[in-house]
């Protein structure tokens, strides 16, 4: 009798443990899902930041943005940018322009390679990976566009780089949660992913 009762108690304990685990897992699954999104999007935002930096420097020299990664990569590998060197110091009683006009300071302009200037000190920077969306195994590229918009009768260059959640989260187990998340975002008339810049507004900000 005691053995039978003990057996029932063990089964009940195991059942409680199993149910507790199921409840805990059901609670934590959405938490883990949100955590995965945040961690992956942080990495993607960093790469989008590299694209933004290159686009801004490209515009300084070419007066427009580029919608092609081949052009952007070539710009990094072979492009040059002006570097202004200032000699002397500006007295507290003068502005820099006044000191320049009086010959107290001088400026020299030289040229320096883009790749010798940008992203220095970033050990994991690889220009050949800049077009690929992280976590897609180099199979999905950012959608990059460039053009211009008219504001106050002026043509202003714009660019946009974007990627979708369904691509950088395609390998996670919580696909049901992903589909639900995407549906909610679309219902709110938002883009289900990350966007840097805009083809409609002169902005280089992201949608985060």
Mean pLDDT of all residues in 176-187? 95
Does some domain include residue 126?
yes
Does some domain include residue 23?
no
Which of the 8 DSSP states describes residue 132?
B
Mean pLDDT of all residues in 102-131? 87
Two tokens, residue 175: 């696909």
pLDDT grade, residue 24 (50/70/90)? low
Does some domain include residue 74?
yes
Domain count, the chain: 1
Does some domain include residue 165?
yes
pLDDT grade, residue 103 (50/70/90)? confident
Residues 30-40 pLDDT 10s: 889 999 999 99
CA 107 remoteness from chain centre: 36
Predicted pLDDT at 29: 84
Which of the 8 DSSP states describes residue 116?
G
d(CA 89, CA 100): 10
Does some domain include residue 160?
yes
Range of the domain at 127: 44-78+122-197
Long-range CB pairs of 204-207 (<8 Å, 24+ gap) are 204/52, 204/55, 204/56, 204/159, 206/45, 206/48
Does some domain include residue 90?
no
SS (H, E, C) 62-109: HCCCCCCHHHHHHHHHHCEEEEEEEECCCCCCCCHHHHHHCCCCEEEE
Two tokens, residue 10: 């063990």
Tell whether the model's pLDDT for residue 199 goes beyond 80: yes
Does some domain include residue 94?
no
Does some domain include residue 91?
no
pLDDT grade, residue 69 (50/70/90)? very high
d(CA 160, CA 66): 10
């Amino acid at each position: 009798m005691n053995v039978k009762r003990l057996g029932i108690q063990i089964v009940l304990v195991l059942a409680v443990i199993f149910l507790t685990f199921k409840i805990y897992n059901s609670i934590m699954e959405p938490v883990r899902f949100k955590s995965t999104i945040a961690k992956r999007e942080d990495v993607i935002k960093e790469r989008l930041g590299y694209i933004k930096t290159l686009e801004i420097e490209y515009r300084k020299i070419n007066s427009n943005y580029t919608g092609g990664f081949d052009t952007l990569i070539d710009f990094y590998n072979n492009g040059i940018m002006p570097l202004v060197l200032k000699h002397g110091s500006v007295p507290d009683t003068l502005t820099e322009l006044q000191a320049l006009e009086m010959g107290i300071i001088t400026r020299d302009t030289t040229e320096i390679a883009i790749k010798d200037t940008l992203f220095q000190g970033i050990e994991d920077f690889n220009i050949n990976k800049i077009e690929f969306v992280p976590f897609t195994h180099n199979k999905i590229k950012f959608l990059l566009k460039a053009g211009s918009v008219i504001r106050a009768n002026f043509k202003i260059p714009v660019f946009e780089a974007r990627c979708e959640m369904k691509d950088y989260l395609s390998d996670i187990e919580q696909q049901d949660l992903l589909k639900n998340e995407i549906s909610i975002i679309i219902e709110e008339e938002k883009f289900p992913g990350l966007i840097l810049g805009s083809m409609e507004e002169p902005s280089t900000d992201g949608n985060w």
